[in-house]
Amino acid sequence: MRKVFITGASGLLGSKIMAIAREDYEVLGQYNKVEFTMKGCQNVQLDLCDREKLFKTVGQFEPDFLIHTAAIRDMDYCEAHKEEALAANVEATRNISDICTEIGTKVIFISTDVIFDGTETEYKETSEPKPLNYYAETKVEGESIILQNSANLIARISFLYGWNVSDRRLNFVTWVLNNLKLGNEIDLYMDHYRNGTFMDDAARLLLMMYMRGLSGIYHLAGKYCMNRFEMGELVCEVFGYDKEHLVAKSLEEASWIAKRPTRVCMDVSKAEEDLGLNLLSFRESLLDMKKQESQGVVF
């Protein structure tokens, strides 16, 4: 049985990949501060900046491939804690790249759409990264490290959403649904455009990309780019809520510390062509979530 090592096992994407991969792979999930276990998988507490322990752990497990989802993603936090962000997002990535190159293990690195500045209509894999904040800078540097080995793969994703497996923090869709249930007003930006990435879709596709032997850079996100208000309307429509609680806002009213691109629309045609399938739209993903809810598959 093939082996996969997954970093960030307690996070949204890492835990979802483990839940799917355990059916066909021997899985070892790494966590650091948030303890996490999953039936049918092994787990290890490990600081990825502890180079010696990382080399020993990965070397003993000898995975066929490693999916590196662990990172500090809060853009405002990274802006205020640059040393910590550098260690978690760059130095840890360098350690992983070094040990995997040494033992011949393929790395799939999870990057982000916010490495772009939002000035172009649409971004392809060949578009030049122009980071606006420190988090984005660390991910660009991480990409550069991973690309030193031509066998590796980079998957740029947008913000993640879906039913959580382990992480109890709300993602965009579950946050909207939670507020709709409570009858709260929900501020949504009309001028903030992104694709969004359904975590179930991403987890399945990452494993498929390994099996297909793909390498290089791919964009994995929803089929279409939308603003947050439009997305909120679709959540209401699919889950049967009134739209009266949605409040249209402008990014000028946001109180963010780190500068963000206002419009990052990713072209996903390369992934669709090389995988021979159509990536789900935001609406299709919501319908999948609704089906999971009706079947009781809600975490």
List, for residues 229-249, the tens digit of each pLDDT value. 999 999 999 999 999 999 999
The answer as to whether 18 is a domain residue is yes
Residues near 285 by beta carbon (within 8 Å), at least 6 away in sequence? 161, 162, 196, 198, 200, 201, 222
Q: For residue 298, give the nearest of 235, 236, 288 by alpha carbon.
A: 288
Q: Where in the sequence is the domain holding 131, given as residue range(s)?
A: 3-161+196-222+264-279
How many helices (H) and strands (E) are present in the chain, helices listed first? Answer: 11, 14
pLDDT (0 to 100) of residue 293 = 86
Q: How far is CA 85 from the centre of its chain?
A: 17
CATH number of the domain that residue 99 is part of? 3.40.50.720
β-pairing verdict for 3-7 and 65-68: parallel
The answer as to whether 67 is a domain residue is yes
The answer as to whether 41 is a domain residue is yes
Cβ proximity of 225 and 43 under 8 Å: no
Number of domains forming the structure of the chain: 1
The answer as to whether 244 is a domain residue is no
Phi/psi region, residue 234 (left: phi>0; alpha: psi -120 to 50; beta: rest), is alpha
List, for residues 197-215, the tens digit of each pLDDT value. 999 999 999 999 999 999 9
State how far the Cα of 39 lies from the Cα of 84, in Å rounded to an integer. Answer: 32
List, for residues 119-146, the tens digit of each pLDDT value. 999 999 999 999 999 999 999 999 999 9
**Which single residue is written with the structure tokens 């929803």?**
222
